[in-house]
Amino acid sequence: MTPLTRLAAAELIRTPPQSRGPFYPLTIPLDSDNDLVRVQGRAGIANGEVTNVVGRVLDERGRAIAGARIEIWQCNAYGRYHHPGDRQNVPLDPNFQGYGEFVTGDDGTYRFRTIKPVPYPGRAPHIHFAISGPGIEPLVTQMYVAGAPENGHDWILNNIRDARIRSSLMVKLETHPDVTGELVGNFDIVLVADGRFSI
């Protein structure tokens, strides 16, 4: 590990845990790949701004974690989850998968194609993440949109008192440089790990 790598690793902030929430899928959908904006067997595309969430899964020393299983789930563009417990009087979106999975490669990278998260009553825009795998401590957390006005009033987010740790969950969404009409944001996840993973 070079001095610069050691310095970078020393500055890594462990990703804080957050609530799983009540809307984790009761059953995993048959289509559970990492593209949430298209559902297998349907011709349409999800409503909302298509957003690419990319990043790396690392340990606290900055080593890439291969073989980490990442699950995400979120509400649709109207603010409703694909879950029987969400009884808001807003539409479901049959073209939005709502849940996806990805397993990191040797370099620890992951990617999801989803929609820009939206607020719903009481919550800032967010995406739920669950990370698990051999040699790592499982983590459930949430990713938020940097600059969203609802962030200041979200009680789950603001239960994190340390502003530096809280900001580690904020992701700036920008125009995708290579895909017209899509957004992209980077969310690196830092876990406790015991080194049994591949690097």
Q: What fold, for 3-191?
A: Protocatechuate 3,4-Dioxygenase, subunit A (2.60.130)
Q: How confident is the model at residue 171 (pLDDT cuts 50, 70, 90)?
A: very high
Q: Give the model confidence (pLDDT) of 29-63 as tens digits.
A: 888 999 999 999 899 999 999 999 999 999 999 99
Q: Give the model confidence (pLDDT) of 97-128 as tens digits.
A: 999 999 999 999 999 999 999 999 999 999 99
Query: What is the predicted pLDDT for the residue at 1?
Result: 46
Average pLDDT of the chain to the nearest whole number: 92
Q: Is the pLDDT of residue 4 over 80?
A: no
Q: How confident is the model at residue 20 (pLDDT cuts 50, 70, 90)?
A: very high
Query: What is the predicted pLDDT for the residue at 193?
Result: 74
What percent helix, strand, coil does the chain show, rounded to 5? 10, 30, 60
Please enumerate in sequence order all residues whose Cβ is within 8 A of that of 97, keeping only pairs 6 or more positions apart, or say none.
29, 31, 32, 33, 35, 36, 37, 38, 39, 46, 82
Query: What is the predicted pLDDT for the residue at 128?
Result: 99
Q: Is the pLDDT of residue 160 over 70?
A: yes
d(CA 171, CA 110): 15
DSSP string, 118-158: --BTTB-SEEEEEEE-TTB--EEEEEEETT-GGGGG-HHHH
Q: Which two tokens stand for residue 139?
A: 């983590």
* Domain regions of the chain by residue span: 3-191
* Coil/strand/helix, residue 35: strand
